[in-house]
Structure 1
């Protein structure tokens, strides 16, 4: 009797475990990472804190308003939100602590932080609240050029942040140019399954997907790009060095910098690895678990990214870079509907996505090099993503129960 009962439970548990494994496998997606990122991953909002004492003057309030959803940031779809803090009016304890870390008495004072989702506590920039600083934060010619190319289908735009050593910078540019051309010819995109196409997981004809990379050179001394340079340099802990080295950042999706290749790290192997990650199929992970960090870019991504008419349907969970995780992303532009992308007004937190791109020729002090192939990314439906950990936990519990009962039986 006991053995019969154990055999029945054994069979039921084995079946349940098998179903769990099938469900986990079903989470995979065949869309290239770079493409899914462009279509689905909403850019996370940067956090801007403005510290002041007493009421802001009319001009100062006007400067803050530029960063709100109703102001320039919202109208250009910049992924940023602003919070004001009156230091003379019972400031929030956390904001007061942030203010003390500034070690300044200058007000109004502006502090720019990376998106909360990046888990990067390093400030991007801090300084006086001035129109010129807000203008530099909200956009720049090079960021528009990058967005323009990504929307047109570039797999990634590689930014070579120059060190100032011409010989070293030229060598890095030559290595990138040659190897990216090689990848353009030799990288093969995954075949997108009919099921993924039917579910609307790619918004253009798969035949139109190409591997195409391009390279731009950026001097650290380019004034209109000063804020962009700071975003790149603070994106990882160890990028600021006594002796600057050339750095290469592949930017894909909706302005997401994958990671930095530095000095001798700019070589065929590391370039190949980045190219392979970006063009590989999606896996079941979350955006936040993937390497990379969003740049602040004023681009109306949802209006510019080409879509198929039947693509506006709920999406199953998707994953990002091969071997990494990805995060849920909504299918709507960060206008009023996306929580994370709405810009905010004083003492609250708003954000918005980015705006339209310019031509490469409009980029001052930025030198361009050969185009090369690239792809896009993936995203996840938040409701479906919640099922994955539940399924995995259930699988582990079922397997453990089966093992214990099996041994007792």
Structure 2
């Protein structure tokens, strides 16, 4: 599968605003991009049990980013001859706006998913709010040698990139203002999730749904995360070259030429956080994102990204 090429063509990638934006992609995303919601579809033929209703109520209260849609369609196990049952389906948006079915099962089992939050996602939130530019999440495989190798590779590149990269010029000028007191740093870190960690069931399931074949073959999965928990891509460790680490880091650390979230690569992890209050305080000024309609009808633009994987 082709991921990042030397010529990434995205319709309307250059901003339509009169003033250029010099804010790094990771910081623009942190201050302005609102994360997508995660949806629970509930199909049931008659009525839900008290346990199922309780489980759904808990999910709805756990995060404002979880939407619940009920449908009284018939759901059967084993085809048309199976018994009537209630079934929940958890769906999330991934790259390109595609909707991915992450999990399905009895609604009463939803709490076991850790859908709304988990220790790893809490740590990602903490690091992004304290100033990390990118948190590189590593979902470990059963192969300890590969796990150690990918973490060492990332650490080595971070040291080189920290000395090499610089923030874009012009930050703070009109059109490139910062609104949060979060430190603006070029700082990168690695966070690991152990294979089969029961507290990370939902996150692990989501990532392995995207790159399941590589993971089953023993490859750790690597995810660069920025902004408000936006995952740029899920990358098997054997495809993550030094050059690709550099390319993606340079891309996220460079000036945000496209201010519309929907026209940038990536997808949002479900993190239960009041990002606006954390960033700007209860009464602080909240910057507005560039409305999508302002960049419609713009001609396609070409963004040059150094060669990566094919």
- Specify the TM-score bucket, using the shorter chain as the normaliser: 0.7 to 0.9
CA distance in 1: counterparts of 2:78 and 2:168, whole angstroms: 48
SS of residue matched to 2:293: helix
Alpha-carbon contact 2:135-2:190 (below 8 Å) kept: yes
Which residue is equivalent to 1:33?
25
Provide the secondary structure at the position in 1 that maps to 2:41.
Answer: strand
The alpha-carbon deviation at position 82 of structure 1 amounts to: 0.8
Pairing of 1:10-409 with structure 2 (within 5 A) = 24=16, 26=18, 28-68=20-60, 71-74=61-64, 79-87=65-73, 105=83, 107-115=85-93, 118-130=96-108, 133=111, 136-191=114-169, 192-197=171-176, 201-204=177-180, 208-235=183-210, 240=214, 242-284=216-258, 286-306=260-280, 311-312=285-286, 315=288, 380-382=289-291, 385-390=292-297
More helix, by proportion: 1
State the Cα RMSD in Å. Answer: 2.9
Matched residue of 2:115: which SS? Answer: helix
Report if the CA contact (8 A) 1:190-1:280 is conserved. Answer: yes
Shift of 1:277: 1.0
Whole-angstrom distance in 2 between the partners of 1:308 and 1:108: 41
TM-score after normalising by structure 2: 0.80
- Change in CA separation of 1:216 and 1:63 when aligned onto 2, cut-off 3 Å: same
Q: 1:257: Cα distance to partner?
A: 0.8
Q: Give the secondary-structure state (helix, strand or coil) at the position aligned to 1:277.
A: helix
Superposition deviation, residue 131 in structure 1 = 5.0
TM-score w.r.t. structure 1 length? Answer: 0.62
* 5+ long unaligned stretches in structure 1: 1-22, 89-98, 316-379, 394-409
Q: How many residues align?
A: 283
The farther-off stretch of 239-248 and 215-224 is: 239-248
- Structure 2: gaps (5+ residues): 1-14, 301-310
Distance (whole Å) between structure 1 residues aligned to residue 298 and residue 224 of structure 2: 34
Return the offset for 1:216: 1.3
What is the rounded CA distance, in whole Å, between the counterparts of 1:211 and 1:251 in structure 2? 14
Please identify, of 277-286 and 100-109, the stretch whose mean Cα deviation from structure 2 is larger: 100-109
The answer on whether the counterparts of 2:208 and 2:215 sit within 8 Å (CA) in structure 1 is: no
